[in-house]
A = this chain, B = another copy of it.
């Protein structure tokens, strides 16, 4: 089955303590779509400007990503520039040029409207609503978010939560949303806001699922070198949704394994700037790391 992936399609200029890479392909939808494409057909929803490099369109196509929902708009592509500290845990935004994203309104091609799996990647909650408004009885809808929307668009986000099946956020966002220090108490409070499935991302510490079948503690793949963590969270949820879209059986039967596949897909993302490493990854590489994670967690 196919996954619809909506979110930002951007150019990212990323600085770390040792390297600088200007105008890489980035954005939540780009990372999530490429991650999901390892497992299932992907319908991309986004908007880019006239400066969007053709090579990035070629890259999407190489991953079999359907671009009928990618709008080519007058103006400049959304451009984000950020810098990581030495330990890779903290980053600061140097520049945000919204460009076409400022007036972007997602319009779904008819063929997209019946995608059974819907990933509302990180973008303004109002746009996530607009995507969802156009969908016809999706089977499983998951939304990602970020601290920015908790700060400036909380009412929109709170209206979104009862409309989705799954919500993905990181531990500091969970704390910000619920005022709970304890992650398990935060999870309980988030369920009350709507979603039946809540995943809290903890970076190199893995992630935690809370679902109708209880908790799952998902490991992160051990990496001794992180080149650029930008997009790791998007890759994670992209991998989760891609895996779920092709797995047989219920969500409950597959979501744990889907998270492990998401975790591994995110590990490749961290090993290169932007999508550089992810796009060199083969499905067999992913399977190998999933098997390794099985061994690393067995007791």
Contact (Cβ within 8 A) B215 A299: no
Known: A204-B183, A299-B259, A299-B260. A222 touches B217 (CB 8 A): yes
Known: A205-B202, A205-B205. A299 touches B184 (CB 8 A): no
Distance between Cα atoms of A299 and B296 in the complex (Å): 12
Residue of B nearest to A260 (CB): B299
Q: Chain A interface mostly helix, strand, loop or mixed?
A: mixed
Contact (Cβ within 8 A) A184 B216: no
A50 within 8 A of B: no
A248 within 8 A of B: no
Contact (Cβ within 8 A) B184 A223: yes
Residue of B214, B223, B225, B298 near A296 (CB, 8 A) is B214
Contact (Cβ within 8 A) A296 B216: yes
A215 CB contacts on chain B under 8 angstroms: 222, 296
Distance between Cα atoms of A205 and B205 in the complex (Å): 6
Distance between Cα atoms of A225 and B89 in the complex (Å): 27
Contact (Cβ within 8 A) B296 A217: yes
A295 CB contacts on chain B under 8 angstroms: 214
Contact (Cβ within 8 A) A182 B224: yes
Distance between Cα atoms of A256 and B298 in the complex (Å): 8
Contact (Cβ within 8 A) B296 A182: no
Contact (Cβ within 8 A) A256 B224: no
Distance between Cα atoms of A257 and B182 in the complex (Å): 26
Contact (Cβ within 8 A) B222 A184: yes
A182 CB contacts on chain B under 8 angstroms: 223-226
Residue of B nearest to A216 (CB): B296
Residue of B181, B205, B218, B257 near A86 (CB, 8 A) is B181
A298 CB contacts on chain B under 8 angstroms: 256
Residue of B nearest to A89 (CB): B181
Sample of 28 A–B contacts (CB below 8 Å): A86-B181, A89-B181, A182-B223, A182-B224, A182-B225, A182-B226, A183-B204, A184-B223, A184-B224, A185-B224, A188-B224, A202-B205, A205-B205, A206-B217, A214-B295, A216-B296, A216-B297, A216-B299, A217-B219, A217-B222, A217-B296, A217-B297, A218-B299, A257-B299, A259-B299, A260-B299, A294-B299, A297-B297
